[in-house]
Structure formats: C-alpha cells, structure tokens
Chains A and B, each alone.
Chain A
Amino acid sequence: AQTVTQSQPEMSVQEAETVTLSCTYDTSESDYYLFWYKQPPSRQMILVIRQEAYKQQNATENRFSVNFQKAAKSFSLKISDSQLGDAAMYFCAYRSAIWETSGSRLTFGEGTQLTVNP
C-alpha cells in the first residue's frame, strides 16, 4: 500500500517570502500522479498543482512550483511571494496510474498548516 508523509505539521512564512512544504511517499509503482491540495478555513479542498511521475519536468502554476525527486520519492511544494490568502492547510496526495491497483483512490498525507505573517 502507498503511504504519504508530511513531516511538518506547521510552517510559517512572512508575506512576500518563499516557503517550501515537504512531502515524501512510498510506493513500488513506477507510474503515478502526485498532487498538492489546499484547504482554507472554508474547508473546501482546492487543487493547487499536480505532477505525473513519468514527467521529468517539475510542474509550475504561477507562484506555486514543485520539486519532484522520483528516486528519492520526494515531492515538495514551493510557494513564492507568499500572500495572506495562501494561509491554509496543505495536503500532499498520491494516486496510482494503474486502475486495477487503486482506481481513483487518493492517498493523502497528514497535512501542513501554513501561516502567513503580514
């Protein structure tokens, strides 16, 4: 079974600064998808960024980028020019690309609470 670990329960960053959230995962599969979701106080989970395992290039979405290290099974999220609205719980998630293994099951990490200080 796959597992996802976020070792930082809490992180803080000054507004306009850069912060990196860590995520590691364990899998024996070679093809899979990785995601970062944001959960603000409104509770709704919002997709921030996603990465296909077979793509070498790190995904980027505006101020959000990832550092995907497949051999190390690491998938960190970098937030540049942090804004107050970035304050939220961030979840790393894994999904197998093999339908027979997990269908559409997402396995989530424990989450990292990000505080943005003005």
Chain B
Amino acid sequence: DAGVIQSPRHEVTEMGQEVTLRCKPISGHDYLFWYRQTMMRGLELLIYFNNNVPIDDSGMPEDRFSAKMPNASFSTLKIQPSEPRDSAVYFCASSLGTGYYEKLFFGSGTQLSVL
C-alpha cells in the first residue's frame, strides 16, 4: 500500500484565497483524522471521521474551515478565506479501528503558507 497520500505537498497562497487540501487514506481504514502542526500550538486535532461521517469537529478553529469525506478513499480540508495565521503543516492520518492495536498512519503533510 502507498500509505496515506496528501496533496499538495506545499501550497503558497495569498490572504483571502480559498485553499483545498486533499487526502487519500489507506484502503480499508475506517478512521480519518486531520491534524494541524504549528510552532506555537504544536500538533492539534482538527476533525476526524468514522466511516465517512464526521465524529468530532471541535478542533476546527472557525467557520472558515470545513472538511468533507465524500467517500472512503478521499477527504478534503478547505479554508475559505485563508489568513496568514492559517500557515501551518496540515496532516491527514488514517487507522483501522480505534483500540489499542490501532496504528495511526500519517501522510507527509501539506505545508501551507498564506501570504
């Protein structure tokens, strides 16, 4: 398996523009997570899905952020409009189940820079 695939790897955009980050989880995994990593706040969970259904979106910073999972093999995280403080590395991760034996697989992240 190719692992969790995220695109793009880098994204540079101007303030006010819409940004869409994409994720393809590992085939067969039923949980998908979006994390954000910044120097100030470290790694924080934004939202996660189980069987394509959003379970906990309490980490989504504000209404400018939205996430969807239209099917088991694809998810998007959208920021509209983007702001400089959204600059961060955004990680997607997937797992099969959530018990102790669950192993969380991370993608390589999208480095977002909002100018």
Contact = CB atoms under 8 A, between A and B. Distances in A.
Interface residues of A, number: 20
B93 A45 contact: yes
Contacts, number: 44
Interface in A76-116: 91, 97, 99, 103-106, 108-111
Interface in B46-80: 48, 55-56
Given A50-B100, A104-B31, A105-B56, A44 B106 contact: yes
Given A45-B93, A110-B42, A104 B109 contact: no
Interface residues of chain A: helix, strand, loop or mixed (majority): loop
B104 A43 contact: no
Most buried by A among B106, B108, B111: B106
A15 interface: no
Contact of A105 (B42, B45, B102, B109): B45
Interface in A25-53: 33, 42-47, 50, 52
A116 B49 CA distance: 38
A43 B109 contact: yes
Contacts of B45: 105-106
A50 B99 CA distance: 12
B104 A106 contact: yes
Given A103-B48, A104-B31, 9 more contacts: A43-B109, A46-B106, A47-B103, A47-B104, A99-B98, A103-B56, A104-B95, A108-B42, A111-B42
Interface of A: 33, 42-47, 50, 52, 91, 97, 99, 103-106, 108-111
Closest A-B pairs by Cβ, 5 of them: A45-B106, A108-B43, A104-B98, A43-B109, A44-B108
Interface of B: 31, 33, 42-45, 48, 55-56, 89, 91, 93, 95, 98, 100, 102-104, 106-109, 111
